[in-house]
Amino acid sequence: MLGQKRPTKREILRTAMSVFDPLDLAAPLTIAAKRILQATWKLGTDWDEEVPDDVYKDWNTWLEHLQALKKLDIPRCYPGCTHAVKRELHTFVDASEHTYAASTYWRTTAADGSINVSLVMAKARVAPLKITSVPRLELQAAVMGVRLARCTEEDHDVKPDQRVFWTDSRTVLTWIKTGARAYKPFVAHRLAEIEEETKTTEWRWVPTAHNVADDATREPPAYFDQAHRWFRGPEFLRHPKEEWPSETRAIARSPPTGEERTRTDIIQALPDITRFSSWQRLRRATARALQFIDRCKAGRGLREGTHAISHRRTQKTEQNDPNWRQTLKKVKKIDKTIHTSANKRKFVLLEASSRIGCNHRNKGPPVVDGHHPYVRLYVQAVHEQLHHAGVEATTNEVRQRLWVLRMRPTIRTVIKNCLRCRIRRATPGEPPTGNLPAARLAHHQRPFSYVGLDYYGPYNVAIGRQHQKRYVALFTCLTTRAVHLEVAGGLSADSAILAIRRMMARSAPVEIWSDNGTNFHGADAELQKTAREAAAQEASARAIDWRYIPPAPLSWVELGRLVQSIKRALAVTLREMPEGRVFTTLLLEAEYTVNSRPLTHVSVSADDPEALTPNHFYWGSGCLPVVQQLRHLRPPAVAPRPETRRHVLDSLDTSTYPRCNTGGSRNAWMRGRDSHIPRQRRRSSSSGHHNEYWYPTMSDEEVGRAPEIKDCENRNGGRMCTTE
């Protein structure tokens, strides 16, 4: 076929298989045909398709080398083997990226000291199509060499006195000397077969230049005859053992290859404590892990799982602080209640000193660190077992089994972070007060320019022999907080309009704010609605902007407080059913009393001015001038005559009684801007508590904490949930 047409894959296979060499005595030549055939499979060549140029070139080269087999004469007699004094069987193994091979040789020593080396058999194979590392192929060659040696011993009547296996791979020698248990399955299974057939002392290292198996893993030799070293064996076998090659450096120090198995201790195989939130679950998982690891041993259970966790905790402490034993000696000098003991499990256990000599469960409880996750889980389990008891009960139960360093702070921290206890102690949050409207801050405006309107009552008033109901219309200046009261004959539209017109006769409001009538009860709802609609029409006719506030806002809670103040003032003087004129008089006196309340801090120092009141904005002073003059008059012993009363009124200084003192009002506005308005910056909750900053800054412990959900009732009796 040499020089003829280009062959197909079928023809290459037929020619390669026509070479009969069961002992692979010509393996350096015949293995090349198998590599060429494997190349056709990698290229995907069809059976009857001509091979590519590269394969065709290698094929012609192999055919030229194959011609050397015609002149090859291999002697099959082992010289001196029958009458030899000593027989040795030497096996050489080697591998490359595409081939691995092994060959065996008889080495016989005659009585006169002459040494003969003869080839017994060989074996060469191509590497699999799947990419395999060279160390693994070297191990495959070692396994094949062991099988060749076993076959040679079984098929010969004479037995070797000594066996020697040679390899140039230090990695394989390291694997063999280490053992199969230290490596992954691929390496471990093959090492197990090698350990069954050979001994570790039978394996030796040989340089690649003296390894005859290397000839079968390379390209075919140019001159392959019976004088080739493949048939005669390496030259060093004809010398004494002292001259054989040996490894100078330690084989055990070879770098890792990735085939090593990660050896896991029993304690390291335990579950990670930081991944558990329950002590009971950690305890049971640890017992299950120990049961799986050591299933045949009896006595491992929950108690053994707890001891294993303690062992791991001791090892973890030693890893974090190698000098923890020296630190322990210093601690023992300070705390005399701690001593060290070594139990049967061969790990150090710190125990508290005790006078109890008998074998009692409270004798010397173990000393543990309060910051360790296991201790926190155990304290949490005891806390839940005691139905979420307090610090004292939990401390008393924990110290029965463990002596926790910083016991009380640790238990307080665990109870503080208990979710169920936090939910039980949580209180619903209160919404902040809304922002003040612009009408509340409209300074330097006429009093009652921005008015808030509300109704309250009814009051029973005597009109002749009849008893009639009267309501009170409360007008409050949203800026100065002054109040004006008008008596409404009822909830009819006419009564509401008349009350607003009487108020407009004193001051012309720009805006009127009122609620939507929800403060009136069942039967008065329709009448109140009619009164509100009629009042709104009257206000629109006088160019007044009427606005409605939402139901029960916290920013308008002052309207209800003013109603309470007026009711409190009337409760002192209104003790029986008054007449209409008396009721009006008492109502005006209550109005004056409420307008005299201080809006700023009342100082007792003589150097400070008087407190600011709504009367300062309305009259220019804290009280009416006519009242100040009437206070200096002595009451007469006998009621004066009408002309005397007229004389008293004429004697009053009416020059200081203007409708509105402009200078006093201006001074009041300046004081209100500087002292009264800044006091309204703070937000107040519905319970009356003031907070400068409503949303407090969260501490580091509260960051990342789950929100607390609190179930509470709203103002309408329904259920709602709030989060904190």
Model pLDDT for residues 188-208, shown as the tens digit of each residue:
999 999 999 999 999 999 999
Between CA 56 and CA 128 the distance in angstroms is: 22
pLDDT band at 403 (very low <50, low <70, confident <90, very high): confident
**Does a structural domain hold residue 711?**
no
Verify cis geometry, omega within 30 degrees of 0, for the bond prior to 578: no
Compute the distance between CA of residue 164 and CA of residue 198 in angstroms, rounded to an integer: 9
Residue that finishes a domain, picked among 562, 597, 632: 597
CA–CA separation, 432 and 428 (whole Å): 13
Q: Which of 346-355, 511-520, 642-651, 685-694 has the highest mean predicted lDDT (pLDDT)?
A: 511-520
Quick one: CA dihedral 710, 711, 713, 714, positive or negative? Answer: positive
Q: Residue 674 gets which letter from DSSP?
A: I
> Taking residues 123-145, what's their average pLDDT?
92
Other Cβ atoms less than 10 A from the Cβ of 250: the count is 9
Partners of 183 in beta bridges:
260
Inside any domain, residue 715: no
* First and final C-alpha spacing in the chain: 92
Question: 476 or 672: whose pLDDT is higher?
Answer: 476
Residue with tokens 């801050």: 441
| CATH code of residue 192 | 3.30.420.10
Return the percentage of the chain with pLDDT > 70, whole number.
68
Nearest partner of 81 among 92, 91, 89, 71, judged by Cα: 89
Distance between CA 540 and CA 538 in Å, rounded? 5
Secondary structure letter of residue 241 according to DSSP: G
Q: Are residues 536 and 609 in the same domain?
A: no
364, pLDDT greater than 60: yes
Residue 305 lies in a domain: yes
- What percent of the chain lies above the pLDDT cut of 90? 19
Is the domain of 280 the same as that of 213?
no
Distance, in Å, from the CA atom of 125 to the CA atom of 137, rounded to the nearest integer, reads 10
* 517 vs 488, higher pLDDT: 488
Q: Is the pLDDT of residue 623 over 70?
A: no
Same domain, 447 and 497: yes
Most confident of 278-282, 608-612, 709-713: 278-282
pLDDT above 50: residue 338: no
CA dist list (Å): 700 to 22, 530, 645: 80, 57, 77
* Helical residues (DSSP H) of 488-579, grouped into ranges: 493-506, 525-541, 557-573
Q: Do 49 and 112 belong together in one domain?
A: no
Place of tokens 């607390």: 708
Compute, in degrees rounded to 10, the torsion defined by CA atoms 41, 45, 46, 51. Answer: -120
720 in a structural domain: no
Q: Is 358 helix (H, G, I), strand (E, B) or coil?
A: coil
Distance between CA 278 and CA 301 in Å, rounded? 18
Question: 566 and 608 share a domain?
Answer: no
Confidence label for 415 from pLDDT (cuts 50, 70 and 90): very high
What is the rounded CA–CA span in Å between residue 414 and residue 371? Answer: 11
Measured in degrees and rounded to the nearest 5, phi and psi for residue 538 equal -65, -40
Token pair 């015949």 is found at 30
Let me know whether 532 and 676 are in one domain: no
Domain-ending residue, one of 71, 102, 121: 71
pTM for the whole structure: 0.43
Residues 421, 386: contact at Cβ < 8 Å?
Answer: no
197 and 102 together in one domain: yes
Residue found by looking up tokens 């006088």 in the block: 542
Q: How many domains, the chain? A: 5
- At 172-184, the pLDDT tens digits run 999 999 888 888 8
What gap in Å lies between CA 105 and CA 440, rounded to an integer? Answer: 113
Q: What gap in Å lies between CA 304 and CA 479, rounded to an integer?
A: 77
d(CA 216, CA 102): 8
- For residues 367 and 405, give the distance between their C-alpha atoms in angstroms, rounded to a whole number: 7
* Any domain includes 708: no
Do 662 and 645 share a domain, yes or no? yes
Question: Can you give the pLDDT at residue 343?
Answer: 41
CB atoms within 10 A of CB 692: 7
Of 86, 189, 172, 94, residue with least CA distance to 135: 172
Note the pLDDT tens digit of each residue in 557-583. Answer: 666 778 888 888 888 877 778 888 888
Q: What gap in Å lies between CA 327 and CA 349, rounded to an integer? A: 15
pLDDT at 291: 78
Residue 449 token pair: 């320019």
Contact 347, 341 (CB under 8 A): no
Q: In whole numbers, what is the pLDDT of the chain averaged over residues?
A: 75
Q: Which of 71, 98, 114 is the last residue of a domain?
A: 71
DSSP assignment letter at 640: P
Please state the φ and ψ torsions of residue 361, each to the nearest 5 degrees: -70, -20
d(CA 173, CA 72): 35
- Whether 300 and 171 share a structural domain: no
Residues 96 and 241 in one domain: yes
- Max mean pLDDT among 176-190, 245-259, 288-302, 525-539 falls in 176-190
**What is the C-alpha separation between 633 and 51, in angstroms, rounded?**
139
Per-residue confidence (pLDDT) for residue 326, from 0 to 100 = 53
Which two three-digit tokens encode residue 617?
Answer: 């904005």
Residues 145 and 198 in one domain: yes
Residue 91 maps to a domain: yes
Residue 346, in any domain of the structure: yes
545 plus 624 within the same structural domain:
no
**What average pLDDT does the segment 43-53 reach?**
89
Q: Which residue has the tokens 């055939």?
A: 37
Burial readout 368-381 (b: 16 or more C-beta within 10 A, e: otherwise): bebebbbbbbbbbb
| Residue 534, domain extent | 438-597
Rounded mean pLDDT, 408-416: 93
Q: Is residue 1 a part of any domain in this protein?
A: no
